[in-house]
Amino acid sequence: MALPRIDFLYLNEEDMIRAGVCDMAGCVDAMESMFRLLKLGDFRMGGPNNNSHGAMVLFPDRPPFPNMPKNGPDRRFMAMPAYLGGEFDMMGMKWYGSNVENRTKGLPRSILMLTLNDKDTGAPLAHMSANILSAYRTGAVPGVGIRYCARPDAKVIGVIGPGVMSKTTFAAALAVRPAIDTVQIKGRGAKSIESFVEYVKRDYPQVKNITVVETMEEAVKNADIVSLAPSSPTGDPSEYPYLHESWIKPGCIVCCPGAARFDDDFLLNRARTITDNIGLYEAWAEEIPYPAYHTIPIPAVHSMDLIHEGKLKKEDIDDLGDIILGTVPAIRDPEQKIIYSVGGMPIEDVAWGTIVYRNALKKGIGTVLNLWDKPYLA
């Protein structure tokens, strides 16, 4: 492409699949590389501390105008910009709209797109379907934590909330702990449970023991790894999914990409708290009035509230990037119970999106679109 002409690549969902977006092992490796760059500082996200999750548009409970959307579960729009350096060296932004009512229309709750841009000119390089991409990077982030912190001989995984996030977390866990042979599933509806069971049987026949349980305690008991990702209302922490310390096996890692609640005594005195990026939680603490846990139900957000209250110190929280770089031990105590918070960051989307985009270029996948041959207003 010779400037000032600008062409960019459009990748629909089928193109993304052909370009390798479902390669979970590759995605876990990409997320590990991303974490290294994050800890080294070779990145930028939004907000004053360059760690913001994104800019969100919310709607009022009682809109003053007839056409304005009304607040509801997962009713929002969000822009998530980021630059990631290193071997990625890419600027991009994920954009999505979300509405739980989408499911009544045969649509996913959230519809996502990712745009990649040239870091110098700002010209678009690619515009791609991002639902699968986002789901895989969300699962791959727990996968990196499992790679470093889970028992090497892990065989049992507990799944609470057998939806998309737990499917991709399960895939990532199997990618880094292939000896897993047992899954314990706790769900609310027969449809999601049946879908998860069929998924395991079809894609992971080596997992011979598939058990559907009635309680969260049964799902967690004896598990070496737990994926805790049920749907949950926000606002009242007493309604968040709760795990008692006694249910959790020594050495277990509990991956929390969503709402979760534990007793403060456990969090303060015995659990090991690990975050995907402590800066992300500091950004949330700056952006959202205390107590932020009432708005964002991830355990590490509650940890920031505990720091605000003077009950916890920042030094009590371990960052996954430090573990990867070796400045913090991966295992402090083989019997310690680990609570691993996963907040989600746009640098993850840029990392995996860049790799998929480059694969598409090599394989001639996608549709080339023209922005202009010569800009009219230049």
Q: Would you place residue 1 in the very low, low, confident or very high pLDDT band (cuts 50, 70, 90)?
A: low
Tens-digit pLDDT profile for residues 177-214: 999 999 999 999 999 999 999 999 999 999 999 999 99
Q: Would you place residue 232 in the very low, low, confident or very high pLDDT band (cuts 50, 70, 90)?
A: confident
One-character DSSP codes across 328-354: S-S-S-TT--EEEE----HHHHHHHHH
Q: Which two tokens stand for residue 312?
A: 């916890």
Q: What is the mean pLDDT of residues 149-162?
A: 98
Q: Is 204 exposed, middle or buried (0-12, 13-18, 19+ CB in 10 A)?
A: middle
User: How much of the chain, in percent, has pLDDT values that exceed 70?
Assistant: 100
Q: Would you place residue 233 in the very low, low, confident or very high pLDDT band (cuts 50, 70, 90)?
A: confident
Q: Would you place residue 73 in the very low, low, confident or very high pLDDT band (cuts 50, 70, 90)?
A: confident
Closest CA to 337 of 274, 259, 277, 260: 274
Q: What is the mean pLDDT of residues 353-377?
A: 98
Tens-digit pLDDT profile for residues 258-310: 999 999 999 999 999 999 999 999 999 999 999 999 999 999 999 999 999 99
Model-wide pTM > 0.85? yes
CA distance 93 to 113: 8
Token pair 């069929």 is found at 198
Map out the domains of the chain with their CATH numbers.
8-60+67-133+347-369 (3.30.1780.10), 151-344 (3.40.50.720)
- For the chain, the average pLDDT equals 97
Is pLDDT at 223 greater than 80 in this prediction?
yes
